[in-house]
Amino acid sequence: MLTFFQQILETQRAQAEAQQRQTDAIRQGMEDAHQLALAAVEQRAPHPGMRPRYGDIQDFKKLGPRDFSGTEGVVYADDWLEDIERQMRASRLADDLKVEAVGLQLLDIVRTWFRNKPALTGEGRTWAEFKLLFKEKFFSSTDKIDLIRQFQDLQQDSLSVEEYAAEFGRLSRYAEYMVRDPKIRASRFREGLTWDIKIHIPSFYETYTQIYAEARKVEREWGLKPKRERDLFSGASSSAGAAKRPQLQHHSFQHHQPQVQARAPVQQQVQHTQQRQAQHGAPCGYCKKLGHIWEVCRKRLGLCLYCGEAGH
């Protein structure tokens, strides 16, 4: 039975890795295309002795700036403004064209707000004024407090380590004063990890990079899944067990055979776990005893605590 579960886990892991590789390839392709567009603009370097050539709105549009409609939320608005400024620098957009250029990327209620602001549509408008008015409109104190609270409450829970790290980085920039010290930042990241991952990270790791790398390693080596995937697998396992139970009641030899085959892998896992526990000294997350972790906990698996077999 354990071998059957391991086969399902290996299949799910292979599918997840294949999907991740495909996603990475798509992301890399988009990034390469964007870098080529930036390089094409940046190649227009001025000759020695000549004044730098400023870009125009057409150069800016070639970099594919995103639109903003005002309904995407404060985080998107923050990211959008940073991307717009980066693309303006890459295209060498002249200062007196920046407000006009960004106005072309505004949609719906934001476009109406923009048109009704004399300071943004009249003569002498500046990019600094636009940023000030934009942040007053779309970055309220309530929004900032809510993002800080989200960071304070952030836990890994049903997220993978990579997803948790991404969310940690996204929210921490709004509470930079809380994690300005690298050790405090690393400690806060460690605290938010799930217990079954956190117990394997050595206590002497004090940097974010060390803790993140070790968390990814533990998740990969032990085949740990986010809670949402474990719950799904648990449901599938229960259904599979229910379907097979009537046959096992009539064929005692078939019922006994999988137990014998599953014993060796469990023993191998226990030996590996004991080696890790000797290094880190962490208790099992299920029964709280030393010498193993929850993946091979005999009490959790319903195995005999003495010999490691089931059925007696």
Cβ-defined contacts of 154-160 (< 8 Å, 24+): 154/192, 155/192, 155/194, 156/192, 156/193, 156/194, 156/197, 157/194, 157/227, 158/226, 158/227, 158/228, 159/226, 160/219, 160/226
**From CA 98, how far away is CA 104, in angstroms rounded?**
10
- pLDDT (mean) for 179-192: 93
Spatial contact of 99 and 126, defined as CB atoms under 8 Å apart = yes
Q: Is 92 exposed, middle or buried (0-12, 13-18, 19+ CB in 10 A)?
A: middle
Structure tokens at 82: 């940073």
Quickly count helices (H) and strands (E) in the chain.
15, 0
Q: Is 33 exposed, middle or buried (0-12, 13-18, 19+ CB in 10 A)?
A: exposed
Greater model confidence, 211 or 248: 211
Pick the most confident of 33-47, 152-166, 211-225, 294-308.
152-166
pLDDT over threshold 70, residue 168: yes
- pLDDT (mean) for 21-40: 69
What pLDDT band is residue 1 in, cutting at 50, 70 and 90? low
What pLDDT band is residue 21 in, cutting at 50, 70 and 90? confident
Greater model confidence, 277 or 53: 53
Q: Is 208 exposed, middle or buried (0-12, 13-18, 19+ CB in 10 A)?
A: buried
Instruction: Look at the chain and count its residues.
Output: 312
Spatial contact of 291 and 298, defined as CB atoms under 8 Å apart = no
**Weakest mean pLDDT among 6-20, 145-159, 198-212:** 6-20
Q: What pTM does this model have? A: 0.47
**Weakest mean pLDDT among 70-84, 115-129, 213-227, 248-262:** 248-262
C-alpha 285: how far from its chain's center? 24
Mean pLDDT over the full length of the chain: 75
**From CA 22, how far away is CA 17, in angstroms rounded?**
9
Q: Closest by alpha carbon to 81, among 66, 96, 60?
A: 66
- pLDDT (mean) for 64-78: 87
Spatial contact of 57 and 84, defined as CB atoms under 8 Å apart = no
What pLDDT band is residue 126 in, cutting at 50, 70 and 90? confident
